[in-house]
Amino acid sequence: MKFATLHDIVKRARQNLDRNHWDYLIGGADSESALKRNRYGLDSWVYRPRILNDVSGVQLSTELLGSRLRIPVVLAPIGSLQVFEADGGTTAARAAEAFGVLQILSSVCTPDFEAVARAAPGPRIYQLYLMGDEAWMDDVIDRALAAGYTGLCLTADTQTYSRRERDILKRYVPPSGSRAGGSDFGYQASLTWETVAHIKERFEIPLIIKGVNAAEDAARCVEMGVDVVYVSNHGGRQLDHTRACIDALPEVAAAVDGRVPVLVDGGFMRGADVVKALCLGATAVGLGRLEGLAMAAGGADALVRALEILEHEIRITLALLGISRLADLHAGLLERAVPLTTPHALSAFPLLDEDY
């Protein structure tokens, strides 16, 4: 059966995953406040549509680091992708290539980055956690360049592994959590601005810093030559009680001031969510949980289908806003309002428990 809605995909994923893997995917850190705020923040922005504009042709594509994106979306890095579908990062890479978006491959999923590159050649970005000293890092980046990766993403909000109580209560340790609990992961706490300077000086590869939440850090990233600033709170899975990523986005975008692209993730599930981020200054939106849900629902085919549905939702949203080009989106198309739903990881899908 061809999935007709994103609801269908999420329902199938829930049927296919056991409790351990389901909770790992939808859960957050500690009280899960940061996770809920991501959805609350998205639902707190509502549209001010404009009328009588020609939207007979709506343009959705954009460019990031020299790659054309069919829609302004990237597949965010997810650890343990292989628990949702056996081929893990390779499956996501093939889906990204088939549809026409960029994948950011996590360094804590399988297969490893070199195996993924051999199985699915093409432009993609490698997300790196530090598991060794500077010499170790330099060797990995050299190998990523040799394997054809077109960008490097450093995740800066994972100085230590958080407490994810859904997993702890069941005594479940996901594969990525097992690696993060090892002694080598301690190098991640030594990540500093000097690390950024070293990478920019030594390597000819575009650098993304993921985990930016404040204007001050965004401005410093640009000053140091970072090529993409990525707003993220790790899907609410690291520091709890952070503000919603979409609420951090405007000040980050203002600090960057168009000098480099801005990415954002954190609770984005629907086409309308993506368009809100673009209005507030994002170049593209990272999809994490939706990526995992689609892979659990049916592998690469379901992930491509999820992107197709998302594309349709984005196109409809733009047309009904009275906008035909991504470049014409602006913050004046939004205003704040009180959300109508109780936020949680899947509150974007209110029909999940309906019998259709």
pLDDT at residue 180 is higher than 70: no
Query: What tokens appear for 281 in the block?
Result: 């200054």
pLDDT at residue 240 is higher than 80: yes
Strand partners, 152: 126, 207
Mean pLDDT of all residues in 261-280: 98
Strand partners, 212: 231
102-147 tens-digit pLDDT: 999 999 999 999 999 999 988 999 999 999 999 999 999 999 999 9
Number of C-alpha atoms within 13 angstroms, CB side, residue 168? 10
As a whole number of angstroms, the distance between CA 175 and CA 57 comes to 45
Mean pLDDT of all residues in 273-298: 98
120-129 tens-digit pLDDT: 988 999 999 9
Write the CATH number of the domain with boundaries 6-336.
3.20.20.70
Three-state DSSP string of the chain:
CCCCCHHHHHHHHHHHCCHHHHHHHHCCCCCCHHHHHHHHHHHCEEECCCCCCCCCCCCCCEEECCEEECCCEEECCCCCHHHCCCCHHHHHHHHHHHHCCEEEECCCCCCCHHHHHHHCCCCCEEEECCCCCHHHHHHHHHHHHHCCCCEEEEECCCCCCCCCHHHHHCCCCCHHHHHHCCHHHHHHHHCCHHHHHHHHHHCCCCEEEEEECCHHHHHHHHHCCCCEEEECCHHHCCCCCCCCHHHHHHHHHHHHCCCCCEEECCCCCCHHHHHHHHHCCCCEEEECHHHHHHHHHHHHHHHHHHHHHHHHHHHHHHHHHCCCCHHHCCHHHEEECCCCCCCCCCCCCCCCCCCC
As a whole number of angstroms, the distance between CA 345 and CA 225 comes to 34
pLDDT at residue 178 is higher than 90: no
**58: Cβ contacts below 8 Å, ≥ 6 apart:** 315, 318, 319, 323, 324, 325
Work out the pLDDT band at 291, boundaries 50, 70, 90: very high
- List the chain domain ranges: 6-336
Among 154-163, 172-181, 233-242, the range of highest mean pLDDT: 233-242
Work out the pLDDT band at 323, boundaries 50, 70, 90: very high
pLDDT at residue 247 is higher than 60: yes
Q: 292 with 346: CB under 8 angstroms? A: no
pTM score, two decimals?
A: 0.96
Give which of 218, 325, 227 is closest to 278, Cα–Cα. 325
pLDDT at 1: 62
Residue numbers annotated as active site = 234
Give the type of residue at 192: T
